[in-house]
Structure 1
């Protein structure tokens, strides 16, 4: 197992995923790819980009998310793990599966939180979708 992909959503429970990826990557001497999938650009989903202030706010948010994913990758590096942090835009599950192929990922480690039926009906579950669509093993870490 040479490459592990860990999707990060920045909901405040990243440390559990980092700990699990650190544990597994040490045992297998794997590289860890941390990935955060940011929402697509407004133009991508059919909306105008809006005024300059809206575009500036979006750019600042992306810079902040990029810095955060790099900080998490640095934390793994400080623990002796080869790691990279990636920020990409797109539809979450599709973007993760695309990167999985491109990076020759052997394992996906993803967090899972329980949500109510209303939330699931509106947004679905990334972890459940990955389990259904992935051609490689997916390790689900409970975050509740």
Structure 2
């Protein structure tokens, strides 16, 4: 597994997910791609809905901070563990964005977090991990988040 993609949804789980990727990458001399998928770019006027400017400014600032955090995690992995890593903030649909990166970077393994939800929650929401497995046709490592 030369190219490993780590999909991060929440910053508090980043260390737990990247630790799994580092172990696998060390074993295979691989590269880690850390990504976070966010809403469409607020600078794109076509993607805006009616609303006050401060909402768009706040979203743009949040995206800048998230992008900086992801790049910092990648830099730390490279320095601490001597494993090649790159961090990306991607805007758009989660499934489509991950699929695009998998194809562009020849990803061999996707690592994503998993939190236990109750049965009713599962009935009324989409199952992104199942959709990823169906779409990507590569292994998906679901890490139980603590």
Q: Distance in 1 between matches of 2:88 and 2:6?
A: 10
Q: Distance in 2 between matches of 1:20 and 1:37?
A: 20
Distance 1:5 1:56, change over 3 A: same
Show structure 1 runs of 5+ residues with no match. none
Q: Distance in 1 between matches of 2:87 and 2:50?
A: 27
What are the equivalent positions in structure 2 for 1:117-136 lying under 5 Å apart? 117-136=119-138
What are the equivalent positions in structure 2 for 1:1-144 lying under 5 Å apart? 1-10=1-10, 12-41=12-41, 48=49, 50-78=51-79, 79-144=81-146
Shift of 1:48: 1.5
Query: What do you get for the CA RMSD once the two structures are aligned?
Result: 2.2
| 1:50 counterpart SS class | coil
| 2:12 counterpart SS class | coil
Shift of 1:17: 0.8
Q: Distance in 2 between matches of 1:95 and 1:22?
A: 22
Q: Distance in 2 between matches of 1:16 and 1:46?
A: 33
| 1:55 counterpart SS class | helix
Show structure 2 runs of 5+ residues with no match. none
How many positions carry a matched residue from both structures?
144
The TM-score normalised by the length of structure 2 is 0.87
Cα pair 1:49 1:55 within 8 Å, conserved:
no
| 1:36 counterpart SS class | strand
Q: Distance in 2 between matches of 1:126 and 1:71?
A: 26
Q: Distance in 1 between matches of 2:16 and 2:84?
A: 18
Deviations 1:93-141 (A, max 9, x none): 1110111001111111111111123433444232222122222111221
Q: Distance in 1 between matches of 2:136 and 2:9?
A: 19
- Segment drifting more, 111-120 vs 31-40: 111-120
